[in-house]
Amino acid sequence: MNELYRGMVVANIVKAMKSAETAQCYKHNGLKGRAREIFVSNLLEPYLYPTMGVSTGVVIDSFNRQSNQVDVIIYDKQIVPPILLTPSEGIIPFESVLARREVKSK
């Protein structure tokens, strides 16, 4: 990995960690959790292919079964497009999901 790229990765991680530390000041647990989800999404997005996206929401399958709310979903828009309620929240078809992760405070 060249030094410029390595520096960019380290700078993004440091920025995300400082932002996550700021969330500790929030009193509301839901707000604190959502802030951390956004920090993780912002950390991942620069490294994804243009056809990929990061969202929070639910995963739905072809039988209309839905997951519980998932904190971070990485998906491929070209496989089956998501139904985005906002640019970062939506309903993601199971076939498009590449990864999913829960974000915890500890």
Rounded Cα gap, residues 28 and 105, in angstroms:
13
What is the structure's pLDDT at 106? 62
Is-catalytic flag, 37?
no
Return the H-helix or E-strand segment holding 87.
none
- How high is the pLDDT of residue 49? 93
Helix, strand, or coil (residue 27): coil
Which pLDDT belongs to residue 24? 66
Q: What is the helix (H) or strand (E) element at residue 32, kind and residue range?
A: helix 29-44
The alpha-carbon radius of gyration of the chain (Å, integer) is 15
Active site residue 102: yes
CA-CA-CA-CA dihedral for 57, 67, 47, 86, to nearest 10: -20
Q: So what's the pLDDT on residue 41?
A: 83
Which is the catalytic residue, given 3, 27, 104, 106? 104
Q: What is the pLDDT along the chain (106 residues), one digit of tens a residue?
A: 577 767 777 777 777 677 666 666 666 566 667 777 887 888 888 889 999 999 999 999 999 999 999 999 999 999 999 998 888 899 999 999 999 988 776 6
Is residue 71 part of the annotated active site? The answer reads yes
Q: Report the alpha-carbon distance of residue 12 to residue 42 in Å, rounded.
A: 9
Neighbours of 100 (CB within 10 A): 14
